[in-house]
C-alpha cells in the first residue's frame, strides 16, 4: 500500500488484473472504505449522507483532492470528472480560492449581517448574467429553486407551477414530482402525470404541479395553455441534467419563452448546473434566451456551499415590503445566506472566470475528450451517443440519438453506463459517479489527463463489448 501523503496516491493500471471483474477489483481495492461503510451504516441510513451517494456494494470514501485528481482512503488516485457534480470548475484546491477562504476564516466564519464581499459577488453575477438585474443568496440549489418558485407565486398571485418531466430542481416537495418512475405511472408522453418521486409528498402538493414534455413545443404549449390562468411560472433546466445531458432542440427554449410571454407565465431557468459552467452567462447566454428568474449553485461557490436566485427588478423587489395589505411581501431568509466564507470562495471563482481564458481551456479539453469517446464507440460498433454541451457530457448507451426525456430515461441503458464507469474507476478514472452520471471538466485537467483517460475509456468500452 502506497502512502496517502499528498505527494501522490496509488495510480491504477488499466491492464491490472484484467481477468477479474470490475466488482472483484473494487472489493480488493477498497478494504478501508468497506470497513468505514460498515461503521457508517450503524449511524446513517445506508451509511451515506445522501441517497444519491449510495453505491453497490458500498461507496468508496474520499480522503483529499488536488487539481484534477481525487484520492481515496485506501490511497488510490483518480482523474476526477465528477468534480462534486460539476461544482468544481477551476479544479480542486485552486490556490486563489484557498487563499480567499483562509483570509475570511481568519476574520470570522459567519455574522448573520451583510459583509462587503457579498456586494462584490452580487455585482459580478449581475454583470455576467444580463437578465439578473437583482439577486439574493441561498445555500443550495434546493433553496434557490424553492425561493424562486415562492417569489413567482407571490409576484403573480397564482399558485400552480409547471415543470418539465425529468427535471431535477432540488428536494423540496413542489419539485419532487414528475422526475422519474415506472413508465406506466408517468402518464401519456404529451401530457405527463405529476407522479411523486418520493414518499412524503402530499397529494395536495401534486395538484399544484403541471408537468410538460421537454423538447416538444406543440405539446408543451397545449399543456401550458390549459392551465395558463393558474400558472405562476414554468421552471426548467435549459439543459436537462437529471436526464444526462439532454440538449434542447433547436428553438425549443425560444418557443418556450414566447409561450410564457403569450400566456402571461413567468419563466424560471434552473441554472444550478449550467450557470457559470457553459460560459459567464450560462445556458441563457449560450442559447440566447432571457428568463424572468434564474437560479444558480454549484460552480458559483467554487466548491463551497452557495446558491443564488435573481432576475427582473420588478419581480425581485416583491421581496420588499410593498403595501399595508397582509402578507406585505414575499419572504426570503436564512442564517447562512451569503455565508462569508462561501462568498469569499465565490468572489475568487468568478474573478478567475471573468476574462474568458478558463472557458477557452475548458472548450479545448472538451474537444479533445468527448468526440474521441464517440469515435471509440463507433469504431467498436457500440451503439451509444456522447451528448456534450460545453464542459459537460453524458453517454447514452444502446441509443443512437436522444431528443426527449423518455428516450433518455427509458431507452438508454443506464446499467451499462454504470458498468462502464466502474470498469474505468478501478483503472483510475472517475467518469462521473461510478453508478453512472454526467462528466465534467475543470480548468485543472491537462492534456496528459485527457490522453490517460482516453486509454482507460477504450479499455472500458472494450470490456463492455466483450
Residues recognised as catalytic: 168, 270, 298
Question: Distance between CA 68 and CA 362 in Å, rounded?
Answer: 13
Query: What does the DSSP assignment read for 228-289?
Result: TTTEEEEEE-SSBSTTSSBPPPTTHHHHHHHHHHHHT-EEEEEETTTTTTSSTTHHHHHHT-
**Nearest 5 degrees, angle CA 413-CA 416-CA 422?**
145
Cell of 78: 483518480
Question: Distance between CA 270 and CA 310 in Å, rounded?
Answer: 11
Question: Distance between CA 376 and CA 60 in Å, rounded?
Answer: 28
CA torsion 129-350-137-298 (nearest 10°) is 100
Which residues lie below 8 Å from residue 75, measured CB to CB, with a gap of 6+? Answer: 1, 2, 3, 4, 9, 10, 63
Q: How many CA atoms lie within 13 A of 269 on its CB side?
A: 31
Query: What does the DSSP assignment read for 417-443?
Result: HHHHHHHHHTTTEE-SSTTS--EE--T
**Nearest 5 degrees, angle CA 122-CA 302-CA 72?**
165
Please list the alpha-helical segments (H only) found in 108-264: 116-128, 141-156, 203-206, 217-226, 252-263
Kindly calculate the radius of gyration of the chain based on its CA atoms and give it in whole angstroms: 22
- Are residues 155 and 266 in contact, defined by beta-carbon separation less than 8 angstroms? yes
Amino acid at each position: 500500500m502506497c502512502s496517502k501523503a499528498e505527494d501522490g496516491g496509488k495510480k491504477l493500471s488499466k491492464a491490472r488484473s484484467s481477468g477479474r471483474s470490475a466488482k472483484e477489483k473494487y472489493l480488493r481495492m477498497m478494504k478501508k472504505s468497506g470497513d468505514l461503510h460498515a461503521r457508517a451504516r450503524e449511524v446513517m441510513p445506508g451509511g451515506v449522507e445522501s441517497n444519491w451517494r449510495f453505491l453497490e456494494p458500498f461507496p468508496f470514501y474520499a480522503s483529499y483532492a488536488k487539481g484534477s485528481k481525487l484520492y481515496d482512503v485506501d490511497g488510490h488516485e483518480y482523474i476526477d470528472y465528477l468534480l462534486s457534480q460539476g461544482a468544481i470548475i477551476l479544479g480542486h484546491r485552486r490556490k486563489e480560492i484557498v487563499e480567499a477562504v483562509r483570509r475570511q476564516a481568519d476574520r470570522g466564519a459567519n455574522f448573520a449581517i451583510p459583509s462587503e464581499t457579498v456586494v462584490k459577488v452580487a455585482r459580478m453575477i449581475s454583470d455576467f448574467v444580463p437578465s439578473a438585474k437583482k439577486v439574493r443568496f441561498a445555500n443550495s440549489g434546493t433553496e434557490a429553486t424553492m425561493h424562486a418558485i415562492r417569489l413567482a407565486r407571490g409576484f403573480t398571485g397564482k399558485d400552480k407551477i409547471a415543470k418539465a418531466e425529468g427535471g431535477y430542481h432540488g428536494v423540496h416537495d413542489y419539485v419532487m414530482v414528475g422526475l422519474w418512475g415506472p413508465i406506466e405511472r408517468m402518464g401519456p408522453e404529451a401530457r405527463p402525470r405529476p407522479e411523486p418521486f418520493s414518499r412524503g409528498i402530499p397529494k395536495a402538493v401534486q395538484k399544484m404541479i403541471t408537468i410538460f414534455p421537454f423538447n416538444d413545443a406543440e405539446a408543451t404549449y397545449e399543456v401550458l395553455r390549459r392551465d395558463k390562468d393558474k400558472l405562476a411560472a414554468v421552471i426548467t433546466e435549459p439543459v436537462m441534467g437529471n436526464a444526462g445531458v439532454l440538449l434542447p432542440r433547436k428553438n425549443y427554449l425560444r418557443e418556450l419563452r414566447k409561450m410564457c410571454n403569450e400566456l402571461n407565465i413567468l419563466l424560471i431557468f434552473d441554472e444550478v448546473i449550467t450557470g457559470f459552467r457553459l460560459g459567464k452567462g450560462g445556458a441563457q447566454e449560450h442559447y440566447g434566451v432571457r428568463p424572468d428568474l434564474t437560479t444558480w449553485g454549484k460552480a458559483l461557490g467554487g466548491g463551497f456551499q452557495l446558491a443564488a436566485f435573481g432576475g427582473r427588478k420588478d419581480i425581485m423587489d416583491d421581496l420588499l415590503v410593498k403595501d399595508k395589505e397582509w402578507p406585505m411581501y414575499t419572504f426570503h431568509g436564512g442564517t447562512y445566506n451569503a455565508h462569508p466564507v462561501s462568498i469569499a470562495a465565490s468572489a475568487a471563482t468568478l474573478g478567475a472566470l471573468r476574462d474568458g481564458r478558463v472557458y477557452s481551456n475548458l472548450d479545448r479539453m472538451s474537444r479533445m475528450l468527448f468526440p474521441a469517446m464517440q469515435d471509440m464507440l463507433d469504431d467498436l460498433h457500440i451503439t451509444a451517443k456522447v451528448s456534450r454541451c460545453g464542459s459537460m457530457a453524458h453517454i447514452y448507451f444502446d441509443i443512437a440519438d436522444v431528443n426527449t426525456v423518455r428516450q433518455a430515461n427509458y431507452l438508454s441503458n443506464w446499467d451499462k453506463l454504470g458498468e462502464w464507469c466502474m470498469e474505468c474507476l478501478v483503472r483510475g478514472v472517475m467518469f462521473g459517479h461510478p453508478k453512472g452520471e454526467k462528466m465534467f471538466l475543470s480548468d485543472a485537467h491537462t492534456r496528459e489527463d485527457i490522453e490517460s483517460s482516453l486509454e482507460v475509456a477504450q479499455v472500458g468500452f472494450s470490456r463492455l463489448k466483450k
